[in-house]
Amino acid sequence: MKISQTKRLERLLDRYQNGGLDRRTFLGLAAAAAATTGLSTRWTGQALAAVSEVRFDGWGGVVQEAIDKYAFQPYTAKTGRKVVQGTFDDENVVLTKIKSANPGDYQIIHSSGVEYYKKYIDGGYVSEIDELKIPNMANVMTAMIAPFRKMTPKLSCVPFDYGTTGIAYNTKVISKEEAEEKGAALLADKKYAGKIGAYGDMVTRVWYASLQTNQDPNDAKDMDAVWAKIREARDLTKKYWGSGAELMDLLAKEEIVVTDAWSGRIAALQQQGTPVAYLDPKGSYAWMEDMLILKGSPMDECEELVNFMLEPATSIAVAEGQNYPPSLDPKKVKLTEKIEKLPAFDPTGEMKSLTFANPDYWAAHNDEWTKEWNRISNGD
């Protein structure tokens, strides 16, 4: 009996590794066989342990600390299910890891909105969530769900928070009047050469160079002008930063006096008393983040966790902790004064005042522009 069950488990494992079974089905069948026969193999022990865990990968730093404190720890206390966490500074890195991993090795990703959603779709990594198992989606802004629904009518993710990449500046050096007058041009101002920071990311660099050359970031016509402006700004830039922690450190130590910046990280600096202000110039880059459940994940457990994260009390606590507004519709859920004062907060729930990336436009140019940006950032 045990020999035949062992062979059955081997066949299940082979089907799973070759994509013939999703992770939830494999784990369920493996666990059932182990429980029935008492078998213990290198797979069944792992399978039985895995069903009591959910894997989450996010941005680390104060953002993930808030999610862990206000969402994951209470969730584990309530359900007994552990959330195993990983972090990344660049979502392209984790996307590359997913490509070479087994289905289910990565499960929930704190993902960067619609442009990345398309990358997961194109890679065949998206799941189909059962929205009936995430009833708290009813409180999420329709305006945030709509762009994802347009791409996949059956969603693989749920919007969770949003923000902008605007301009942060040291108020001891740059006045509000100067910042508002110069707007995006402030990031390539020779007056502040050697004291300028910038996010080392192709999309952000092309976006702001488009604004600086008076073009629509979602439909730039003169890319030669964009690349020329990026080179010009590069030569004035002290440091391309790569994480929110590095951004905050550069500003707090006054190694830079102006930079494009993530709205929530600047709110955190302001709360710490750092002399820094934040400006969203017209057309600044807005983004929404989502909880993306990957294909092959244990869907019931992941849906349960995401629904817990969308509980108003949980979502509000996380938002206050990470300094990014939640995806909750302010017309449906009473938000706190602290959230209403956060940069990028939209009191209407319509998101019409924010400019988001067109995923089709950016996907069509991603490879070409990434290569050009890599050449420029390396000094060419």
Higher pLDDT, 285 or 22: 285
124, amino acid identity: G
Q: What digits encode the pLDDT tens for the residues 252-268?
A: 999 999 999 999 999 99
* HEC readout, 296-348: CCCHHHHHHHHHHHCCHHHHHHHHHHHCCCECECCCCCCCCHHHHCCCCCCCC
Q: What is the mean pLDDT of residues 39-64?
A: 71
Distance CA 368, CA 223 (A): 12
Residue 364 in tokens = 């069509």
- On the question of pLDDT at 313 being above 60, the answer is yes
Q: What are the Cα distances from residue 274, in Å, to 10, 163, 231? A: 59, 20, 30
Q: Per-residue pLDDT for 10 more than 90?
A: no
pLDDT recorded at residue 27: 62
Q: Which of 34-43, 150-159, 265-274 has the lowest mean pLDDT?
A: 34-43
Higher pLDDT, 41 or 13: 13
pLDDT given at position 152: 96
Residue 40 above 80 pLDDT? Answer: no
- State percent of the chain over pLDDT 70: 87
Identify whether the C-beta of residue 375 lies closer than 8 Å to the C-beta of residue 202: no
pLDDT at residue 50 above 60? no
In this predicted structure, the answer to whether residue 48 has a pLDDT above a threshold of 50 is no
Q: Are 199 and 234 in contact (CB under 8 A)?
A: no
pLDDT at 177 over 60: yes
Span 40-67, mean pLDDT? Answer: 75
pLDDT at 153 over 70: yes
Supply the DSSP string of 75-112, one letter for each residue.
HHHHH--EEEEEE-S-HHHHHHHHHHSPTTSS-EEEE-
- pLDDT tens digits along 73-104: 999 999 999 999 999 988 999 999 999 999 99
Q: How many CB atoms lie within 10 A of CB 25?
A: 15
> DSSP string spanning 181-198?
HHGGGGGG-GGGTTSEEE
Q: Does position 364 have pLDDT exceeding 60, yes or no?
A: yes
Q: What is the pLDDT of residues 226-253, one digit of tens each?
A: 999 999 999 999 999 999 999 999 999 9
**Whole-number pLDDT of residue 89:** 86
**Cβ neighbours of residue 3 under 8 Å, at least 6 residues apart?**
none
Question: φ, ψ for residue 285 (rounded to 5)?
Answer: -75, 115
d(CA 127, CA 133): 14
Q: For residue 2, what pLDDT is reported?
A: 43
Question: Other CB atoms closer than 10 Å to residue 19's CB: what's the count?
Answer: 12
pTM beyond cutoff 0.85: no
Q: Give how far Cα 74 sits from Cα of 66, 69, 313, 327, 346, Å.
A: 12, 8, 11, 20, 28
Q: Is the pLDDT of residue 33 over 80?
A: no
- 102-124: per-residue pLDDT in tens? 999 999 999 998 999 999 999 99
- pLDDT tops 50 at residue 181: yes
Do 220 and 210 touch, CB atoms closer than 8 A?
yes
Domains and CATH numbers, the chain: 2-48 (no CATH), 53-160+288-353 (3.40.190.10), 163-286+359-377 (3.40.190.10)
Q: What is the pLDDT of residue 52?
A: 80
pLDDT, greater one: 11 or 307: 307
**Mean of pLDDT over the chain:** 90
3-state helix, strand, coil in the chain (%, to 5): 50, 15, 30
Report percent pLDDT > 90 for the chain: 82
- At residue 31's C-alpha, the angle toward residues 27 and 34, to 5°, is 145
Query: What's the average model confidence in pLDDT over 182-201?
Result: 97
| Mean pLDDT, range 184-199, rounded to an integer | 98
| pLDDT beyond 50 at 1 | no
The tens digit of pLDDT for each residue in 268-298 reads: 999 999 999 999 999 999 999 999 999 999 9
Task: Average the pLDDT over 8-27 and give the result.
Answer: 62
pLDDT tier, 146 (very low <50, low <70, confident <90, very high otherwise): very high
pLDDT band at 61 (very low <50, low <70, confident <90, very high): confident
